[in-house]
Amino acid sequence: MHDSTNSLSPSYGPATHEASLVDHGSEDQASRSDGDYLKRLGLRVREARARRGMSRRILARDSRVSERYLAQLESGSGNISVLLLRQIAHALDVRLTALLQDESGTQSAALSRIGEFLAALPEETLVRAREVLLREFARVDPAVRRRRIALIGLRGAGKSTLGNRLAGELGVPFIELDRLIEQRSGLGLSVIFDLYGQSGFRRLERECLDHVLHNDPAFVLATGGSLVSESTTFERLLSECFTVWLRTTPEEHMQRVIAQGDTRPMAETTENREAMAELKNILAGREPLYRRADVIVDTHAKSPQESFAALVNSARPPVVNEMAADTDAPGLRMK
């Protein structure tokens, strides 16, 4: 009996030790995977914050989450509960977004299949797929969409100045979305943010855009620089308006904004170096969204007249034939 036990011990001992090593290796690998995931999550939070032009302090106030926790989250040290949710999603073989989506009611099987199909497509193919879907199923007449021109871009790109001139040239109303928000709410933008936060402003922004699209058949619209970061509102703008990105360099943006006496959202920084870094971060976060515009007009190192000429050339509706050129369709009649 004693010999038998001794003979079993060596076989069990090494096996148990080997299993322990395997377990530790598996744990280390899982730990690295978790760390990578948290870093990516933190990056997405930082990018989303940059697209909205929000400081961490403002985000902490609006989300009621401490700045310290936000700093940890953005640095890749998130709450373990996020990792647990990820593990559950993995075990269920579903996307984490499927568990996080905020929808009442169930998604139809057809819509789920479409989502799964599109999710497997590469980015360049997704762009073409969106164009096909808009062309085939959008409720907006392409001719109507072409008469609605929306200017996007950071402050200092010339949206207000060039947009006002373009509207006069085309004989259509010029609308500044931020001014419309103030008029319809009876409050200044800073007061809206103080009282209702980012989410309250986004709701008003969406409602005002809906109002414009419902009531105006033709216009030139100057949008707020961060509208592109609100996916639902931006998608509607893209589908129902001919969009133009007025682009320039971060340095030129900064010069123009300072000349206007407005340094938002860099107002919380006191050093020019910090302000420029923040501006570059915002532009980097939004650039992929701005690039979804129908056309891009670069105003860098151009005079106001040169920029305006480039904008008019880009916004001019195509003339299909002589008969189309002679029609009296409302809006966008070149002077």
Q: Where in the chain is the domain with CATH 1.10.260?
A: 2-78
SS3 148: strand
At 18 the pLDDT is 43
Dump strand ranges (E) for the chain.
Answer: 148-152, 174-176, 219-222, 242-247, 295-298
At 167 the pLDDT is 95
Helical (H) or strand (E) element with 42: helix 2-52
Q: Where in the chain is the domain with CATH 3.40.50.300?
A: 141-326
Per-residue pLDDT of the chain (335 residues; tens, 9 = 90+): 444 443 333 333 444 444 444 455 555 666 667 788 788 888 878 887 887 778 888 888 887 888 888 888 888 887 767 776 676 666 666 667 765 664 444 556 777 778 878 888 887 788 778 777 876 776 778 888 899 999 999 888 889 999 999 999 999 999 999 999 999 999 999 999 889 888 889 999 999 999 999 999 999 999 999 999 888 899 999 989 999 999 988 888 777 777 766 655 544 444 566 778 888 888 888 998 999 999 999 988 888 899 999 999 988 766 544 444 444 444 554 44
SS3 242: strand
To the question of pTM greater than 0.75 for the whole model, the response is no
At 260 the pLDDT is 67
Residue 292 in tokens? 């979804």
Q: Which residues pair with 297 in a beta bridge?
A: 246
Helical (H) or strand (E) element with 326: helix 322-326
Selected from 2.20.25.90, 1.10.3720.10, 3.20.20.140, 3.40.50.300, the CATH number assigned to the domain covering 141-326 reads 3.40.50.300
The DSSP line for 286-314 is HHHHHTTSSEEEE-TT--HHHHHHHHHHH
At 178 the pLDDT is 95
The DSSP line for 122-137 is -HHHHHHHHHHHHHHH
Domain covering 2-78, topology: 434 Repressor (Amino-terminal Domain) (1.10.260)
Instruction: With beta carbons less than 8 A apart as the criterion, state whether 153 and 245 touch.
Output: yes
